[in-house]
Structure 1
Amino acid sequence: MKALRLGTRRSLLAMAQSRGVAEQVTRLTGRPVELVEITTYGDVSREALAQIGGTGVFVSALRDALLAGEVDFAVHSLKDLPTSQPDTLALAAVPLRADPRDALIARDGLTFERLAVAGGRARVGTGSPRRMAQLNAWARALGCEIETVPIRGNVDTRIGYVRSGELDAVVLASAGLHRLGRQEEITELLPPDLMLPAPGQGALAIECAASNADLAAALGGLDDLHTRVAVTAERTLLAALEAGCSAPVGALADLSAERDVTEMRLRGAVGTTDGSTLVQLSTTGPAPGSADEAAAIGRELAEEMLAKGAAGLMGERAH
């Protein structure tokens, strides 16, 4: 039986994510899956993501390979996808989401609060303006100041800054650390009440060519409705704010964990990277039964945030 070709970035995390999806696809379809490694612009550029645009830099090469017929489907971290979906590609599945929270890896096993108040000016590494904004706002609320240091690189490189003593802590996505088996290095899972994740964080996206309806339908067996609804609300909020994926915007849609989901709470935050101003709003209502209903909730909250001055707080505007 001919193997399906799965396009993936070359990083350890991307490969781990793609292997997991490949195993699920094989169980679902009975077809073997081979990984095709593709280098993206975001992988080779050493500039800060905010400088190179952020939006789409990790996915464009994968999408080009799909449209050229070089691969049959691709796996992305959903938070890396631009919020507009091209007609030529199908978002065939959004599997069950992993933990969306951010994680702190700090020296001496410290929590963020203990690190911030420990004396001196703690140096915390992150390449994300969203994390910078919320970390600095949190420190200010504690009556402290920290220094957020822009960093890039893979998980080993980032954790290495703490191990070497160059930084006091780094912030990474909990989901990625778990997928790499590095969860034991987490010193604190940052509470969403103080640190909203990136829209779609913890979720994966499986794309294929829209013209391949049979494959799209087969891959759809991996789709998780509650995850798709939640991330649709979050990503629609991001789009309605006219912000790119490297803008300082956090969002999280919580669906009740009961068997019969009846309610969803959507929270959004946008702020200046120094933490001096932060707009945080939320809305709670009946759980949407479709992606369209979820999108409407995201747009509504975005309009409220814009009315509160969110537009003036974003360094990057992208359509």
Structure 2
Amino acid sequence: MTGSPAQGGSPAPGDQSGRPGGPPPLRLGTRASALALAQSGMAAAALTAATGRAVELVHITTYGDTSREALSQIGGTGVFVNALRDALYAGEVDFAVHSLKDLPTAAPEGLHLAAVTERAAVNDALVARDGLKLADLPAGAKVGTGAARRMALLRMLRPDLEVVPIRGNVDTRVGYVRSGELDAVVLALAGLRRLGREDEATEVFGPEVMLPSPGQGALAIECRDDALVPLLATLDDPLTRAAVTAERTMLAVLEAGCSAPVGGHAVAADDNVLSLTGLVATVSGSACLRRSATGPVADAEGLGRRLAEALLAEGAAELMEREA
């Protein structure tokens, strides 16, 4: 693990700054990929701006970063999270930033989900050769993605394409297209934006076309120390938390991990009403269930449970098991 000062925030004067006489900088545990560092740097800068407390980044390597196996083979759920949580338990870092879509739905003992940041774009994006859109790719074109959900949706939209499982950071994935190894890749628009690479997307899919992963576009901030929760909670966005609570409850009731072909997207129509859409598919794209429901923002968990139960009543479990 290595530490570095967070970029983008100037400590405020006084005891909260981490200067001599004040408290030391808070240690933020983060994966060391360019995207993870960008996301953690944003969170660190926002926390410093809101509270005046200095933050330093501590780089942690997770099993998901070192393994080259497909996510479905190494379990998917938690592979980018467990090492960060171990560092929290060991007291090596004070808090950690995760991509919320990577976070297991089961609450870990002794840790707090102190904040869910305001959500960025939930969309998936295509990066294709020659500026092509999905409809323009020739039959047999190779399209790469690491997510079972995206594989299923791509095969539903274009069954004539060859969908290829890939791993790696944004540079690696886009590099497959630049080298000609693949014709296109699909990845999260939020990641491209956070890296300042949105202009590389040749097409952005609306949620009605490619329903995002539960939690996609939001960041989760975890800590162990109860006393840190109020400080970190300054970064919490209540409507985003409600939306992702509905999505992740649906995922949990379906008993599906983050590597399953499941999509979920909740939107707050206003401060009172939440609309949730859920999707369960076969990885081959041969079958799909898609349903929607609405409910009070204050009952986000109940909304997610009700939609999951409706999907299960229509055969969602059998659909996920069909090609497992």
TM-score normalised by length of structure 2: 0.90
The equivalent residue for 2:126 is: 104
Letter aligned with residue 197 of structure 2? R
Q: Is residue 166 from structure 1 mapped to residue 181 from structure 2 by the alignment?
A: yes
- Please give the alpha-carbon distance, in whole angstroms, between the structure 2 residues aligned to 1:4 and 1:29: 12
Match of 1:138 among 157, 174, 177: 157
Relative distance call for 1:56 and 1:15 in structure 2 (3 A) is: same
Aligned residue runs from structure 1 range 146-185, under 5 A: 146-185=161-200
The equivalent residue for 1:219 is: 232
- Please give the alpha-carbon distance, in whole angstroms, between the structure 2 residues aligned to 1:262 and 1:67: 37
Match of 1:276 among 283, 286, 297: 286
Match of 1:298 among 280, 284, 304: 304
Any idea what SS the aligned residue of 1:7 has? Answer: strand
Shift of 1:184: 0.5
- Please give the alpha-carbon distance, in whole angstroms, between the structure 2 residues aligned to 1:205 and 1:151: 25
- Please give the alpha-carbon distance, in whole angstroms, between the structure 2 residues aligned to 1:316 and 1:206: 35
Any idea what SS the aligned residue of 1:98 has? Answer: coil
**Can you list the C-alpha shifts for 1:233-275, whole angstroms capped at 9, x where unaligned?**
000110000001100101100222xxx4343221111111111
- Please give the alpha-carbon distance, in whole angstroms, between the structure 2 residues aligned to 1:247 and 1:10: 25
Relative distance call for 1:194 and 1:126 in structure 2 (3 A) is: same
Match of 1:35 among 36, 57, 65: 57
Match of 2:319 among 302, 313, 317: 313
Aligned residue runs from structure 1 range 41-80, under 5 A: 41-80=63-102
Structure 2 unaligned runs (5+)?
A: 1-17, 19-23
Letter aligned with residue 80 of structure 1? D
Shift of 1:174: 0.5
Shift of 1:97: 0.4
The equivalent residue for 1:264 is: 274
Residue pair 2:274, 2:300 contacting (<8 A) in 1 also: no
Shift of 1:58: 0.5
Residue pair 1:101, 1:174 contacting (<8 A) in 2 also: yes
Any idea what SS the aligned residue of 2:29 has? Answer: strand
Any idea what SS the aligned residue of 1:99 has? Answer: coil
- Please give the alpha-carbon distance, in whole angstroms, between the structure 2 residues aligned to 1:7 and 1:223: 18
Identical counterparts, % of pairs: 63
Match of 1:250 among 258, 263, 268: 263
Any idea what SS the aligned residue of 1:79 has? Answer: helix
Letter aligned with residue 144 of structure 2? G
The equivalent residue for 2:8 is: none
Residue pair 1:126, 1:170 contacting (<8 A) in 2 also: yes
Residue pair 2:29, 2:96 contacting (<8 A) in 1 also: yes
Structure 1 unaligned runs (5+)?
A: none
- Structure 1 range deviating more: 304-313 or 92-101: 304-313
Residue pair 2:268, 2:297 contacting (<8 A) in 1 also: no
Residue pair 2:102, 2:258 contacting (<8 A) in 1 also: yes
Shift of 1:317: 12
- Please give the alpha-carbon distance, in whole angstroms, between the structure 1 residues aligned to 2:61 and 2:301: 32
Match of 1:231 among 223, 230, 244: 244
Letter aligned with residue 311 of structure 1? A
The equivalent residue for 2:14 is: none
- Please give the alpha-carbon distance, in whole angstroms, between the structure 1 residues aligned to 2:116 and 2:102: 13
Shift of 1:315: 4.9
Match of 1:126 among 137, 142, 145: 145
